[in-house]
Amino acid sequence: MDLQLKIWRQKNKLNKGEIKNYSIKNIEPDMSFLEMLDILNQGLISSGEEPVAFDHDCREGICGACSLVINGAPHGPDKGTTTCQLHMRRFNDGDTIYIEPFRGNSFPVIKDLVVDRSAFDRIQQAGGYVSVNTSGNTVDANATPIPKPDADKAFEAAACIGCGACVAACKNSSAMLFVGAKVSQYAHLPQGKVEAKERVTNMVKQMDKEGFGNCTNTGACEAHCPKEISVENIANLNREYLLSKIK
């Protein structure tokens, strides 16, 4: 199939970016979206131009590196799918596709479609852990049984890949789903209960400091989350936060 691509090009953080037009031919339906961009880039290189920069690594939907807004939707049109797992069979011959970076005040553009998501790392550093030493002197793993429903809930929250689609999808650029997922994971486990209050306080504080917006319950984050993390986690976050203020 032949396609028209409208791609955000931006030299670096300081320069102003713009949409540029490219046309691309002979794309096969079995190709992944990123393989289509690979082909575009090989063509650009052979004509002496700089290729389009985009983040990607595992290309199996788990590392969370890929981060494109495709036709206005973070990670493109498929539900529960990262950009790298989106295939060209989803598009038609002659389509025009808009490709932009994940946008948000806290995600400055580094180049073209590559953005800086280190704010997420800093939120995790503020409290996204259990303060247990890693030297191995812990109790036996089966000493504390965890009810299966709790373990499953924790797992569902922990499946977050930290890609930032929730922020890109949200009109407020809120990171509540991301933070909520981490807080919920630990809230569902006995190991996480000990420091629950400090954790939620510190993580929310850092989230605010990074400049992420607030949640206004539109649910766009869940709709675009490639791992379909539930907005229930935001409710959990609010509850944990409230609890930390009460006692």
Partner 1 sequence: MENKAKMLSIKVVAETLNVSQKTIRRHINSGKINSVKLGGVHRISESELKRFMAGEVVDSNANKDSGFPLSNKVPSGPLENKWSKHKGNINLVSPANKRNIDIIVVGTGLAGASASATLAELGYNVKSFCFQDSPRRAHSIAAQGGINAAKNYQGDGDSNYRLFYDTIKGGDYRSREANVYRLAEVSANIIDQCVAQGVPFARDYGGLLDNRSFGGVLVSRTFYAKGQTGQQLLLGAYSALNRQINRGKVDMYSRHEMMELVVVKGKARGIITRNLVNGKIERHGAHAVVIASGGYGNVFYLSTNAMGSNVTAGWKIYKKGAFFANPCYTQIHPTCIPVSGEHQSKLTLMSESLRNDGRIWVPKKLEDADKIRKNQMKPTEITEENRDYYLERRYPAFGNLVPRDVASRAAKERCDAGYGVNKTGQAVYLDFSSAIIRYGKEKATSTGQDTNNIDLIKKLGKEIIKAKYGNLFQMYEKIADENPYETPMKIFPAVHYTMGGVWVDYNLMTSIPGCFAIGEANFSDHGANRLGASALMQGLADGYFVLPYTIGDYLANDIKTGSISIESKEFVEAENAVNNFIEKITKNKSGNSVDYYHRKLGKIMWDKCGMSRNQKGLKEAIKEIKELRKDFHNNVFVPGFSNGYNEELAKAGRVADFLELGELFAIDALSREESCGGHFREEHQTKEGEALRNDKDYTYASCWEFMGEQNHPKLNKEHLNFEFIELKSRSYK
Residue 94 lies near partner 1 (rule: CB under 8 A): no
Q: Report d(CA 62, CA 57) in Å as an integer.
A: 9
Residues 119-158 that bind partner 1 (CB under 8 A): 120-121, 124-136, 138-142, 144-148, 151-152, 154-155, 158
Whole-angstrom distance, CA of residue 99 vs CA of residue 70: 5
Binding-site size for partner 1 (CB under 8 A) equals 81
Contacting residue, 3, 5, 8, 85, with partner 1 by CB under 8 A: 85
Instruction: Enumerate residues 214-243 that contact partner 1 by CB under 8 A.
Output: none
Nearest residue (CB) to partner 1, 74 versus 215:
74
Does residue 210 interact with partner 1 by CB under 8 A?
no
Closest approach, Cβ 217 to partner 1, in A, equals 27
Most distant pair of Cα atoms in the chain: their distance: 65
Which three-class secondary structure state does DSSP give residue 76? Answer: coil
Residue ranges in 157-196 that form contacts with partner 1 under rule CB under 8 A: 158-159, 161-162, 185-186, 188-189, 191-192
Are 175 and 106 within 8 A, CB to CB?
A: yes
- Quote the CA–CA distance of 170 and 59 in Å, as a whole number: 25
Q: Is 1 in the site for partner 1 (CB under 8 A)?
A: no
Find out whether 119 and 107 touch, Cβ atoms under 8 Å.
Answer: yes
> Alpha-carbon distance 203 to 198, whole Å?
8
Binding mask 28-67 for partner 1 (x = CB under 8 A): x-xxx-xx--xx--x-xxx-xxxx-x-xxxxxxxxxxx--
Distance (Å, rounded) from C-alpha 2 to C-alpha 24? 6
> Closest CB to partner 1 among 44 and 235?
44
Residue 190 to residue 184: CA distance in whole angstroms: 12
Residue closer to partner 1 (CB basis): 32 or 218: 32
